[in-house]
Amino acid sequence: MKKVFRVFAWIGAGAAGLAVLAVLLFYLLIVAGLSPRLQTIWICSAMRTMSHKYLATAFFSDETIDRIMKENEVDDSGHDSELLSFALPSDSEADLSEHSVTIGDAAADALKKITEQPEPETEPAPAAVVPPEPIDDGEGAGWIIGKVLSSLRNSETESGEETGPEGSDGARDEEKTDPEDEEPEKYPPVDEILKQVPALNTAAAEAALGAAKRAVSGDTYIAQGYERLDGGLYLKAVSGLTWRGYVMLVTDPTRVRLRDTSMQYECGENVMTMVTTAGAVAGINGGGFVDGPNYDSNGGTPGGLIIEEGNLVCPLTPDDSVYSMIGINRDGVLVLRHCTADWALSNGIVSAVSFAPFLVVNGEGMVKNGSGGWGIAPRTAIGQRQTGEMLLLVIDGRQADWSLGCDLDVLQDVMLAEGAVNAAMLDGGSSTAMVHNGAYINRPSLGHERWINNCFVVMPES
């Protein structure tokens, strides 16, 4: 009995010790500010909530809170997007040379040179199988790409070779082969190449193999790391140290439209319902709405500007209010502008919500200082490339075993990395959701969807 008592005593003492350590670390790193980054995350995350601001006000003065919020604030005033001009995608696949392969600059350059190199008019001089060269951090992936791509081409050539006619007397087999007629350099099979790669370069080898196969497939977006969902719709998983998310790429931007709840001004709906009702194939949550003190509203009261199919939904009649508009015009151009409802309607905007701040305007990131000042939470954003492709981004959050979430600097960096020239944040938190063909792509933070007011949907290919 005494032994059992001692065990529980040790467990209790250990738990108490850990609790004391946690409190001490919290005080030193966050309250005392030994880690400015953690202090900023704590204050911004708390102050962006409606009912948990006390987590900041209980430990910090108003002056400290105001200073940190101001230092991380995003100012997009005076920044409106220019009207993009691009050709809508045709049925043929885009050329690989129009985009860069995201496996490192050296690897991308090497792959591009290989795929653009014209076939020689005459067969090259004979050469023995070249043993692998040492692989370094700078050129390693490029070297692997060259060998893998050559191996793939060799295998395709061998599979398409025809045998000689039956009944041959075999005289040619006995003749000496002229050196000029010998076969060109061949590389070992792909598996053999990868076996000769040092263990430290495993990641580079896998990336190179994937890139080479994607290049052979001729699909530009797959070459960039996307997975094809269906015609003109692609998906890529993105992640960082403490967050995970997904980017959906839509090659034809005119397929992306706004849809709102069918019970506007009464009750909201979830993204899955609105996507299904619209006959769409995919969608993400859209702009904000009037919420309850505990995030418990039914999503039926819109907040800000809403334009659907060229019709003004909110406000009911145009006024002089200036909105941070995230709009799409009839040509599929994403328009980010501080404007009135009248300006939007008279300039061909057919889908729009209002939300702030903008993340990228005309290729320039708006998060210039700090993290953006919104704290760590699930996030949603929409963006567009110079060539027209629409980018829909969700970052999961509030799930310690999956993803904590992110601030605006991460949203901006992901959009810039994916080639966005214009991008804006949409509503986030428990509203963040991405669906495709009746299934959830991401993991909503509540474990299920909440009712919201509107969403951006992707219509089927016309």
Query: Quick one: pLDDT at residue 216?
Result: 61
Report how far residue 211's alpha carbon sits from residue 199's, in angstroms, rounded to the nearest whole number.
19
Alpha helices in 121-218 (DSSP H): 140-159, 171-174, 190-195, 202-217
In the chain (462 residues long), the average pLDDT of successive 10-residue segments reads: 81 91 94 94 92 93 96 94 85 40 44 49 48 43 59 55 43 46 55 57 62 65 92 95 97 97 94 97 95 76 94 94 97 97 97 97 95 96 98 97 97 98 97 97 94 97 84
Q: What pLDDT, in 10s, does the model give residues 381-430?
A: 999 999 999 999 999 999 999 999 999 999 999 999 999 999 999 999 99
Query: Quick one: pLDDT at residue 6?
Result: 84
Q: What pLDDT, in 10s, does the model give residues 199-243?
A: 545 666 666 666 665 656 568 899 899 999 988 999 999 999 999
Phi-psi region of 328 (alpha: psi -120 to 50; beta: other; left: phi over 0): beta
End-to-end Cα distance, the chain: 76
Q: What percent of the chain has pLDDT over 90?
A: 62
Which residue do the tokens 């799409």 mark? 328
Query: Quick one: pLDDT at residue 215?
Result: 59
The ranges assigned to domains in the chain are 2-71, 96-154+179-218, 228-458
What are the two backbone dihedrals, phi and then psi, of residue 395, each rounded to the nearest 5 degrees?
-120, 120
Query: Quick one: pLDDT at residue 92?
Result: 44
**Helix orientation angle between 105-116 and 140-159, rounded to the nearest 10 degrees:** 30
How many angstroms separate the Cα of 154 from the Cα of each of 103, 111, 150, 158, 175? Answer: 24, 17, 6, 6, 25
* DSSP 8-class letter at 249: E
The continuous run of DSSP H or E covering 40 comes out as helix 36-47
Report how far residue 295's alpha carbon sits from residue 315's, in angstroms, rounded to the nearest whole number.
23
Query: Quick one: pLDDT at residue 290?
Result: 86
Tokens of 424: 């804006």
Query: Quick one: pLDDT at residue 50?
Result: 80
Query: Quick one: pLDDT at residue 130?
Result: 44
Closest CA to 30 of 4, 7, 1, 64: 64
Query: Quick one: pLDDT at residue 249?
Result: 98
Q: What pLDDT, in 10s, does the model give residues 149-183?
A: 666 556 555 555 444 434 444 444 444 445 445 55
Q: Are 228 and 222 in contact (CB under 8 A)?
A: yes
